């Protein structure tokens, strides 16, 4: 697949997700709601509609397409997952956590609003994600919705992203070994990415073997994503990234690129791309977009 086709398709997915998120987070009250507090929704929109790369949604959409799943359902699950990702960024930026002023090149939610608004916007995006999955507007069978809800809750919760964040905070006061860094990162950033790939298999009613294959594919992408992120934190500048850099080193936090060096990291990223390709080779050309996504994640500049 040519880069222009890949980038156009990635861009189209991002626009579709942004459009759906804008509708879901509009000021119009939806069935079952009592009211939509204006400032809370403005804070949620600030945190969710501000031009992220929308990588996780693209993984959901393309994984579902691989198994012939409903594109409409995939888009809604993709938007739900992005709500959780955005909640995690809003809370991660808070003074009690990473204390960042800038996210995606804009003031963070607590800077543009205030800390209470940022906490509530994050809580609301997290909860709303599960409503989006369970809603009658999501065209899936009840069993698929239960599977998605369970997998998403596990990915976002204490045994996944939130637990990974807790381990990451602990790492500010104790040095983690390589194995501990890998566990922490597979939870903190890997779990949602893994869910994105597994979700496609659930939406497409794939069998257990295919679902496990997508879980493994998701793990590889998660690892590659984090390695690239840590490498960029080490070598890129904050203007390119739209967020602060060098923070891990400043806080004395070990990452695999800082422990093992740039050459080791680049070599490991190439190995992960190769593993992703071989994992999806049984699907032939149908998996071209997912394979491109794997190398995009591993080589991205921001």
Residues 156-175 that bind ligand GRG (CB under 6 A): 161-162, 165
List the one residue from 108, 144, 186, 189 that touches ligand GRG (CB under 6 A).
Answer: 189
x/- letters, 19..58, toward ligand GRG (CB under 6 A): ---------------------------------xx-x---
What is the per-residue binding string for ligand GRG in 200-239, x denoting contact by CB under 6 A? -----------------------------x----------
Binders of ligand GRG: how many residues, by CB under 6 A?
A: 15
Whole-number minimum distance, CB 89 to ligand GRG, in Å? Answer: 6
Nearer to ligand GRG, 123 or 210 (CB): 123
Q: How far is the CB of 25 from ligand GRG (least distance, A)?
A: 16
x/- string (CB under 6 A) for ligand GRG, residues 89-108? x-xx-----------x----
CB of 289 to ligand GRG, least distance (A): 18
* Smallest gap from residue 230 Cβ to ligand GRG (A): 8
Q: Of the two residues 58 and 73, which places its CB atom closer to ligand GRG in the complex?
A: 58
Nearer to ligand GRG, 43 or 140 (CB): 43
Q: What is the 3-state secondary structure (H, E, C) of the chain?
A: CCHHHHHHHHHHHHHHHHHHHHHHCCCCCCCCCCCCCHHHHHHHHHHHCCCCCCHHHHHHHHHHHHCCCCHHHHHHHHHHHHHHHHHHHHHHCCCCCCCCCEECCEECHHHHCCHHHHHHHHHHHHHHHHHHHHCCCCCCCHHHHHHHHHHHHHHHCCCCHHHHHHHHHHCCCCCCCHHHHHHHHHHHHHHHHHHHHHHHHHHCCCCHHHHHHHHHHHHHHHHHHHHHHHHHHHHCCHHHHCCCCCHHHHCCCCCHHHHHCHHHHHHHHHHHHHHHHHHHHHHHHHHHHHHHHHHHHHHCCC
Return residues touching ligand GRG (CB under 6 A).
Answer: 52-53, 55, 85, 88-89, 91-92, 104, 161-162, 165, 188-189, 229
């Amino acid at each position: 697949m040519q880069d222009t086709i890949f980038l156009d398709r990635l861009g189209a997915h991002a626009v579709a997700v942004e459009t759906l998120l804008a509708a879901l987070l509009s000021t119009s009250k939806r069935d079952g709601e009592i009211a939509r507090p204006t400032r809370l929704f403005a804070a949620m929109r600030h945190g969710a509609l501000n031009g992220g790369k929308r990588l996780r949604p693209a993984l959901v959409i393309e994984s579902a397409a691989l198994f012939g799943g409903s594109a409409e359902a995939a888009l809604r699950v993709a938007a739900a997952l992005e709500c959780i990702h955005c909640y995690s960024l809003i809370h991660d930026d808070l003074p009690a956590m990473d204390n960042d002023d800038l996210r995606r090149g804009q003031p963070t939610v607590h800077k543009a609003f205030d800390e209470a608004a940022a906490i509530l916007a994050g809580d609301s995006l997290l909860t709303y994600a599960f409503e989006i999955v369970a809603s009658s507007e999501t065209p899936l069978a009840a069993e698929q919705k239960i599977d998605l809800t369970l997998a998403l809750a596990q990915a976002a919760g204490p045994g996944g992203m939130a637990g990974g964040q807790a381990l990451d905070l602990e790492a500010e006061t104790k040095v983690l070994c390589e194995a501990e860094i890998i566990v922490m990162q597979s939870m903190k950033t890997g779990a949602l990415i893994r869910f994105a790939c597994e979700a496609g298999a659930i939406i497409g009613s794939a069998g257990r073997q295919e679902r496990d294959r997508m879980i493994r594919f998701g793990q590889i992408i998660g690892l590659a994503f984090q390695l690239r992120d840590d490498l960029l934190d080490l070598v890129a500048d904050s203007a390119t990234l739209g967020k602060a850099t060098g923070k891990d080193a400043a806080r004395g936090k070990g990452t695999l690129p800082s422990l093992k060096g740039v050459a080791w990291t680049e070599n490991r990223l190439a190995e992960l791309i190769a593993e992703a390709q071989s994992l999806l080779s049984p699907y032939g050309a149908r998996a071209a977009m997912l394979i491109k996504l794997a190398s995009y994640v591993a080589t991205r500049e921001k």
